[in-house]
Amino acid sequence: MLPLFAAAAWAADSAGPFALPARVETLDNGLVVLILEQHRTDATALHITFGVGSRDEKAGEFGCAHLFEHLMFEGSKDVPVDMFDHWLTLAGGDNNAYTSNDVTAYHESFPSGALGLALFLESDRLGFLDAGLLPENLENQQKVVLQERAEGYAEPNGRDWDTIARIQYPPGHPYHNPIIGTVADIEGFSLDAVTHFWHEHYRPRNAVLAVVGNIDTEEALTSLRHWYSDVPDAGEPVARDDEPALDPARPRTAALVEDDVEERTLYLVWDAVPDGHPDQPALEMANYILSNGRGTRLDDALYYLKPRTSVVYTYTSFNDVAGEFYLGAASPTTPLPKLAKLARKQIAALASSGPTAAELARAKSSYRSEILDALESPEGTAELLAECWRLRGKADCLTEDVARYDAVTAADVARVTRKYLVDAEPWTLSNVPRGDAASAMPGAVPVELP
């Protein structure tokens, strides 16, 4: 047996802990590939991100991007149905995928000896999926997706996030519709429609592929060139529509969901900024300072020291077109307007006096820690690499990106808190037990999902 721990090598890169010194190549068909060696164990990860998400769906095809995520595992020209998972499992690997507003991503992890297999599988479905798309597989995955939707919506508070997107973003905005799709559209997809969707969006030039793990860069690159050599260049991706700028003063809706729950849940959501915006780091620091465990402002004020909530948290999402800053809080007894008032008081205090030096230092450390933890595994590193390329146009983006967060000042945090969370009104969603609408936010009206 190999004495792993005695001999394992891990590059303590002199460029710093966030350096991603990946080899970057663009294949003839336009596919960008990023390769990084990481030799602590035999594990290797592949992550491929396509620039297609729910924002690319048109009326009548809501849910197509996500349904397609499922169809990508249902066989291609040389990979019969079920064999994608079967062959990868047989090699000791596993895989998964996700769909967001902006992208669809697929990731596999496997012993390093299975890299060729993983590339065979991935390249076959990128180049030749249409030859394997069968009506019976489409029908089956329509059922699975409907079941996925039903399971998610059946959970307490299971419809809340889709409802929030529906009120915050107006009809016609690409983030207005649920990523999972609508029942009518999911049921209505034809084979022709999904095939057309694949031709439009699943192109080498609309993807970035990262391989990280126990590999040799040159050998991995040779294998990549080999397996993608017959995948045709399908041309530039279909241009995305220029999204109309959101009117920051658009109407604020108070939404009401009466649910099979035992307590009341409040969501406040504000417009934030898209990814890459100069205010993104300061907003993220505000998020950590407001709620990140004992000693942070909302957690202490509403959960630990005066336990008025059963849970309170903030959360940010910075997407390609727009971003959101969320606050969530739940209580079995406190009326939601009271919760909103208490929470906003804490936010106003942060805007007024800014964070202490200790609060800001803790927030920065927590942020760095999350990135460093992700870099400990090939899977996490591969995803970060792909995102660096997609969002920043280079593989080795993290050092610079983290520096943006390190540069945030207390005044920055106070400023963005005031601008985005105090001077602007939030949208609200009240999720209350059936018959308890009186405890909801004033003027809350039922909002149905399609």
Which residues ranging from 104 to 163 are in contact with another protein (CB under 8 A)?
109-117, 120-121, 123-124, 139-144, 147-148, 150-151, 154-156
Enumerate residues 361-380 that contact another protein by CB under 8 A: 361-362, 365-366, 368-369, 372, 376-377
* Site membership for another protein, residue 195 (CB under 8 A): no
Enumerate residues 213-242 that contact another protein by CB under 8 A: 214-217, 219, 222-223, 225-230
CB of 86 vs another protein, minimal distance in Å: 6
Task: Tell me which of 332, 443, 446, 450 binds another protein, using CB under 8 A.
Answer: 332
* Site membership for another protein, residue 182 (CB under 8 A): no
Which amino acid would we find at residue 289? Answer: I
Give the per-residue contact string, 263-292, with another protein (x = CB under 8 A; - = no).
x----------------------------x
* Site membership for another protein, residue 94 (CB under 8 A): yes
Q: Which is nearer to another protein, 172 or 295 (CB)?
A: 295
* Site membership for another protein, residue 313 (CB under 8 A): no
**Torsion sign across C-alpha atoms 372, 11, 386, 94:** negative
72 vs 389: CA distance, rounded Å: 23
Query: Which one, of 107, 69, 71, lies nearest residue 88 by Cα?
Result: 107
* Site membership for another protein, residue 170 (CB under 8 A): no
For the chain, how many helices (H) and strands (E)? 16, 12
Q: Which is nearer to another protein, 140 or 317 (CB)?
A: 140
Residue 241 has which token pair? Answer: 């529509």
Q: Give φ, ψ of 214 to 5 degrees.
A: -85, 65
Which amino acid would we find at residue 379? Answer: E
233 vs 98: CA distance, rounded Å: 25
Burial grade of 352 (CB within 10 A; 0-12, 13-18, 19 or more)? exposed
CB of 172 vs another protein, minimal distance in Å: 30
* Site membership for another protein, residue 24 (CB under 8 A): yes
Are 224 and 119 spatial neighbours (Cβ–Cβ below 8 Å)? Answer: yes
Burial grade of 200 (CB within 10 A; 0-12, 13-18, 19 or more)? middle
Stretch that binds another protein, among 61-69, 169-177, 202-210, 390-398 (CB under 8 A): 390-398
Stretch that binds another protein, among 8-16, 241-249, 272-280, 345-353 (CB under 8 A): 8-16
